[in-house]
Amino acid sequence: MYQLEVSEMSWFERYFEFEKHRTDIRTEVLAGVTTFMTMAYILFVNPAILSDAMGKDAFSSLVAVTALASGISTIIMGLYAKKPFALAPGMGLNAYFAYNVVIGMGYDWRVALAAVFVEGILFIILSVTKIRSAIIHAIPLSQKYAVGAGIGLFLTFIGLNDVGFLTAVVNEAGVLQLTGLNASALVTKQGLLFLFGLFLAAILISLRIKGALLISILVTSILGWITGAAPWPSQIFSTPNISYTFLKLDLKGLLNVGAIGVVFAFFMVDFFDTLGTVTGLSAKAGFLTKEGKVPDAEKVLLTDAIGTSFGALLGTSTVTTYIESAAGIEEGGRTGMTALVTGLLFLAVGLFIAPLAQAIPAFATAPALVIVGYYMLSAIRGVDFDDASEAIPAFLVLMTIPYTYSIADGIGMGFISYTIIKLLSGRGKDIHPLMYVLALIFIGYFAYLGGVF
């Protein structure tokens, strides 16, 4: 183990308990840089998605907001929870925010931000009470896996739509209309560059190269600029300005039944995605106890919840713990020092690259959406397909999310179908009492959307 020779550094060693975790500052810094490299693509992708809903004028602010929300939340994780976990606006949740809530349902983006803020407050309350445990135990594991996988398909759909391979629109009723495949889009200059970026990312990931998605985005963009498929950036750096989105949430707009469903959908996906991610990362880092519990889990979840509400105030969709933190853990990161380094890099780099981010073309970011979709789809292997009462509701979630362009509809379909199938097949004992409540809530939600009342 490397020993700290500079007396000023001893504070880090004591505070982050380097000796206990058998690590040192060199390892922690390297792990933090690695985590940042694997996550930096969010600085380009999140603004690209959210600006579709907020308007292209919001792009520059969204780059700075993404950096601020990610950086500060990750620093809090490092200093408070002392875990090597990084946070950023969640993939899938940003797509739900933009394409379903704003574009599909017709809510103003300021109302959507208010829904994210309220969801974060609920998460904070549940993180410091025993209600959280009740909800965790109520939702069947197969449903948690299915929601994550369904979001993966949702992201892949968006990525393919961005390059014109899948042509789809959302009509005035918020229903997705798939108008067909457009194979000719892939033989255009932009389509070929998309394929290049997709295969480059896949090869780099297969070779276990750190920062594969970021490398793919940057290399594909440069090739696009060189070949004339996209214009060169007019400049690289600029002074950060978040005025377009800062404190623009509209809480009054939430005062209707439909908006309650939006808050609930944000909450459910964020809540269980975070639990799954934190558990997986803790297992990889060797933090889990013999009983399978995560030490200081409440601190981790509370940090995540604070990040969500804080991000909404800044102007971005739900902030959540990122599975890419596993890259830093793989490099030996075991303490909050890893997260601290990652957070500082988000602030140092992300706040000043809005012009560069705005010049990144869609065909360069679309491969990242497809690959992230692949990562998330892998969660479906946790479903027991030998048990139809578990697998069929999971399958319905998997199909409903991308084909309705709605994470909320997918969750609702899963909860309702799971409860009905289990109950009528004589396996009611498998259903937690709270699931009946959740299923009824979604029945009422669908009835409202259908104009029943």
* pLDDT tens sequence across 369-381: 788 788 778 878 8
pLDDT above 90 coverage of the chain, percent: 26
CA distances 81 to 18, 86, 123, 305, 349, Å, are 15, 11, 16, 13, 24
Asked if residue 10 is part of any domain, the answer here is no
Asked if residue 32 is part of any domain, the answer here is yes
pLDDT tier for residue 4 given thresholds of 50, 70 and 90: very low
The whole-number pLDDT of residue 164 equals 78
Between 325 and 200, residue with greater pLDDT: 200
The answer to whether residues 64 and 354 touch, using CB atoms and an 8 Å cutoff, is: yes
The answer on pLDDT for 274 being more than 80 is: no
**Residue 29: which domain range?**
16-450
The whole-number pLDDT of residue 25 equals 85
What's the whole-number mean pLDDT along residues 268-291? 70
Question: Which residues fall within 8 angstroms of residue 278, CB to CB, at 6 or more apart?
Answer: 85, 294, 297, 300, 301, 304, 321
Dihedrals phi, psi of 23, to nearest 5 degrees: -135, 180
The whole-number pLDDT of residue 88 equals 94
Torsion of CA 254, 257, 262, 268, to 10 degrees: 120
CB count in 10 Å sphere of residue 67: 32
Asked if residue 231 is part of any domain, the answer here is yes
Q: What is the mean pLDDT of the chain?
A: 82
Asked if residue 11 is part of any domain, the answer here is no
Query: Collapsing DSSP states into helix, strand and coil, what is residue 319?
Result: strand
What size, in residues, is the chain?
453
The answer on pLDDT for 168 being more than 70 is: no
Between 284 and 63, residue with greater pLDDT: 63
Which tokens go with 120?
A: 């974060």
Asked if residue 9 is part of any domain, the answer here is no
The answer to whether residues 189 and 227 touch, using CB atoms and an 8 Å cutoff, is: yes
Between 388 and 105, residue with greater pLDDT: 388
The whole-number pLDDT of residue 419 equals 94
Asked if residue 2 is part of any domain, the answer here is no
pLDDT tier for residue 181 given thresholds of 50, 70 and 90: low
Domains: count for the chain: 1
What pLDDT digit, counting tens, does each position of 6-26 carry?
A: 444 567 778 888 777 788 888
Asked if residue 8 is part of any domain, the answer here is no
Which tokens go with 243?
A: 């005025």
Between 10 and 337, residue with greater pLDDT: 337
pLDDT tier for residue 114 given thresholds of 50, 70 and 90: very high
The whole-number pLDDT of residue 195 equals 93
The whole-number pLDDT of residue 74 equals 97
The end-to-end CA distance of the chain, in Å, is 66
Torsion of CA 377, 383, 386, 392, to 10 degrees: -80
What's the whole-number mean pLDDT along residues 285-310? 79
The answer to whether residues 272 and 388 touch, using CB atoms and an 8 Å cutoff, is: no
The whole-number pLDDT of residue 211 equals 76
The whole-number pLDDT of residue 6 equals 46
What's the whole-number mean pLDDT along residues 127-142? 71
**DSSP state at residue 188:** S
The whole-number pLDDT of residue 338 equals 92
Asked if residue 3 is part of any domain, the answer here is no
Q: How far apart are CA 358 and CA 352, in angstroms?
A: 12
Q: How far apart are CA 341 and CA 270, in angstroms?
A: 24
CB count in 10 Å sphere of residue 243: 11
What's the whole-number mean pLDDT along residues 192-202? 93
What pLDDT digit, counting tens, does each position of 213-256 carry?
A: 878 888 999 999 999 988 898 888 788 888 899 999 988 888 77
